[in-house]
Amino acid sequence: MIVVSIANQKGGEGKTTTSLNLAWGLARRGKKTLLIDIDPQANSTGIFLNPEGLDKSMHNIFQSKAKIREVMVKTEVENLNIAPSRLTLAEAETIAAIVDAPYILRDALADLEKEIDFCVIDCPPSLSIFTINALVASNYVIIPLQAEKFSVDGILGLQQTITSIKKRINPSLEIMGALVTQLKPQTLLTKTIIPVLTKYFRIFDNSISDGVAVGESHLARKSVYEYNKSSRQAQEYEGFIEEFLNELKK
């Protein structure tokens, strides 16, 4: 099982959109995929389920150290399951003081190793105990971000956290790269910022352009492929997923 965290401590960078469309795209390719939502806002969950109608969610994982299989739900998308979140997950941040708190998610995933091909983790917009759990459990990190100054300003803290976790807890953790989202390619800011970003991380060759298809797909509770497979954003996410899979072969 390959575990991938979609992380950035800044909100509005495209984490949920990237998590959803990566998980959906992998499932469409016949990969047994699990999408884990560890953001208390539960935006990924809301595409598939009513978060407030759930009996069990990731809250149970962090509060009672249950196994993921006890909360995962099969979606209507073939090969795609979700481990859902709900607002009450925020209450579980109190576990941060517990000695083994960073390992809860990794331990919860242990018995799925031979059942799931890919696990995609939608992280919250913070460097909370939930994001730390995701990084400890992951093989790779993908960082969605916009080509703007405030996105660059927030990179250093995330980079330091990843480096620390790799050094102290999870030596196999690797940053696969940054995915530029909501790209406006002709602006001076974009042309200035992209070279700066490459100093921090590898940048995926594929990027996701600014456009309405992504936002409209959320309203329709669909992936961008299902909503409008001919849209530029759908084609760009397809290119990104192929690039992601090719990186794994290297």
145-204 pLDDT tens trace: 886 666 666 677 888 889 999 999 999 999 999 998 887 766 655 667 777 777 778 889
Q: How confident is the model at residue 222 (pLDDT cuts 50, 70, 90)?
A: confident
Residue type, 162: I
Is the Cβ–Cβ distance between 21 and 225 less than 8 Å?
A: yes
Contact partners, residue 59, CB within 8 Å, separation at least 6: 85, 86, 88, 89, 91, 92
E strands, 52-201, are 73-74, 80-83, 118-122, 140-145, 174-180
What's residue 97's pLDDT?
65
Q: Which sequence spans correspond to the domains of the chain?
A: 2-210
Cα 121 from Cα 213, distance rounded (Å): 23
**Residue carrying the six token digits 């800011």:** 189
Q: How confident is the model at residue 96 (pLDDT cuts 50, 70, 90)?
A: low
Percent with pLDDT over 70 in the chain: 93
* Per-residue pLDDT at 92 exceeds 90: no
74-85 pLDDT tens trace: 999 999 999 999
What's residue 14's pLDDT?
84
Integer distance in angstroms from the first to the last C-alpha of the chain? 17
Cα 178 from Cα 47, distance rounded (Å): 24
Q: How far is CA 30 from CA 26, 44, 134, 173, in A?
A: 7, 21, 24, 25
* Per-residue pLDDT at 237 exceeds 60: yes
Residue type, 193: I
Cα 85 from Cα 33, distance rounded (Å): 17
**What are the tokens at 183?**
């790209």
Q: Residue 99, SS3?
A: coil
pTM of the model: 0.92
Domain spanning 2-210: CATH superfamily: P-loop containing nucleotide triphosphate hydrolases (3.40.50.300)
What's residue 25's pLDDT?
94
Residue type, 169: I
Residue type, 12: G
